[in-house]
Amino acid sequence: MIFIFSSKDDFTTNKVCDWLRYYEHQYIRLNKETQNVRIEEFDLGNDLIILNIEGYKINIKDITAVWFRRGGLSDVLSEWNDPIHIPKNLGIIQNILSHKIKNEINQLALFIQFKIENGKNIGSYFNKGLNKLKMLDLAKNEGFKIPDTFIVSKLDELESILSKNEVVTKAISDGLYEFTDDTAYYTYTEEINNSTLDTFSDSFTPSLLQSKIQKKIEIRSFYLVDRFYSMAIFSQKNKKTSTDYRKYDSEIPNRMIPYELPSNIEDMLIRIYEKVGLNTGSADIIVDEENNFYFLEINPVGQFTMTSTPCNYYLEKEVALELIRIKNETTKGKDPKIKKE
């Protein structure tokens, strides 16, 4: 059985599932919004863990391939996580016990997540949030060029850096990506210059600055197990997209074409993926006007539809085929049935 961790409205997951159905392979999709998830049986000595997902009983030993995209068991495992299990009128200890119970359930969920993935996975819950600074340091040590990178929290520090560098700022962790009923909120890579200094206070939250690279092209490269699918983005000539190509210009869209990375760049990326324990992801790279390759970051979830469609890579199909390959390698083509209560 193929097991997919995702969210209910994820377009890319929908496309991968379409291909699995086309090839007539059974799968279970656990969305992070799923409400009714509990442990039916847990017997570690006999290596028996059975989950009940909205009435479907699943022995995790029957899971033969896993794709982690979003969510994870910690998001949905609700058994024993109800305040009704905490005696009332305990005062401050009631909040302490509530926190303790949530931590107990989370540790249990993490162990079962580990058992589910068990080396037969594409992507991993345990690598869903790569540290951006760690990845830059790792890339530098592997031989990549990286932009000059600073963390500042005071206006005079910012002014000093600006006197020597053109800089951009971006989130240290994940950027903002939130929706309300009528509004979407995003953060982008933004240029900082002297004309914007008066918008800063004397001190502010520690912020990431990087030197602005005069780019020739940007590259988004999706990696799947042992192969790269790369795309060149010609964003530098459009003022709207020159700093961050995600500020799409629908009237004058960027040219995006298939691209083959030099073998030495692929080799460096493979070493990085291996060191962080990932077999998939999307790397962002800038090529400057002197053809130097600058590493920016790796998205471990691997947003790849935006690469797949312009380049006709059919990456949703490739992910489905890789899941089928893993499943067949694990089970020799046999797939167990799922029991419904």
For residues 110 and 137, state if they share a domain: no
* Same domain assignment for residues 102 and 7: yes
Q: In what order do the strands lie in the sheet with 121-122?
A: 27-31, 2-6, 65-68, 121-122
Give the model's confidence band at 82: pLDDT under 50 very low, under 70 low, under 90 confident, else very high: low
Q: Of 177, 194, 212, which closes a domain?
A: 212
The four Cα atoms 30, 305, 127, 58 give a dihedral, to 10 degrees, of 20
* Tokens linked to 61: 């030993």
Range of the domain at 336: 2-124+321-340
CATH of the domain at 229: 3.30.470.20
Q: Are residues 180 and 285 in the same domain?
A: no
User: Is 310 among the domain residues?
Assistant: no
Does residue 285 share a domain with residue 142? yes
Asked if residue 326 belongs to a domain, the reply is yes
pLDDT value of residue 81 = 47
Residue 312 resides in a domain: no
Would you say residue 267 has pLDDT above 90?
yes
pLDDT of 96: 81
Considering the domain architecture, whether residues 283 and 219 belong to the same structural domain is answered as: yes
Each residue of 112-124: pLDDT tens digit? Answer: 999 999 999 999 9
Q: What is the pLDDT of residues 220-246, one digit of tens each?
A: 999 999 899 999 998 777 666 666 666
Q: Which residues pair with 27 in a beta bridge?
A: 2
- The answer to whether residues 76 and 156 belong to one domain is no
How far apart, in whole angstroms, are the C-alpha atoms of residue 222 and residue 300?
A: 10
Boundary (domain end) residue, out of 183, 212, 241:
212
Q: Verify that 117 and 153 share a domain, yes or no.
A: no
- With respect to residue 316, please indicate whether it lies within any of the assigned structural domains: no
Mean pLDDT of 309-334: 90
Indicate whether 307 belongs to any domain.
no
Q: Among 29, 27, 112, 109, which Cα is nearest to 69's?
A: 29
- Most confident region among 152-156, 167-171, 267-271 by mean pLDDT: 267-271
Do 78 and 221 belong to one domain?
no
Residues 40 and 102 in one domain: yes
Q: 247 falls in which pLDDT band (50, 70, 90)?
A: low
Q: Confidence band (pLDDT; 50, 70, 90) for 101?
A: confident
Q: From edge to edge, which strands make up the β-sheet containing 339-340?
A: 37-43, 48-53, 56-59, 339-340
How big is the CA angle at 304 (ends 290 and 15), to the nearest 5 degrees?
A: 160
Residue 249 falls within a domain, yes or no?
A: yes
Read off the pLDDT band of 78 (50, 70, 90): low
Residue 314 domain-assigned (yes or no): no
Interval 123-147: pLDDT, tens: 999 998 899 999 999 999 999 999 9
Domain assignment of residue 166, yes or no: yes
What pTM, to 2 d.p., does this model score?
A: 0.87
Same domain, 21 and 85: yes
Q: What is the mean pLDDT of residues 55-75?
A: 93
Residues 61 and 92 in one domain: yes
Where are the strands (E) in 177-244, listed by range? 177-179, 184-186, 190-192, 203-211, 215-224, 227-234
Number of structural domains found in the chain: 3
Same domain, 103 and 200: no
pLDDT of residue 335: 58
Of 190, 212, 234, the domain-final residue: 212
In Å, how far are 75, 103, 331 from 87, measured between CA atoms? Answer: 25, 18, 47
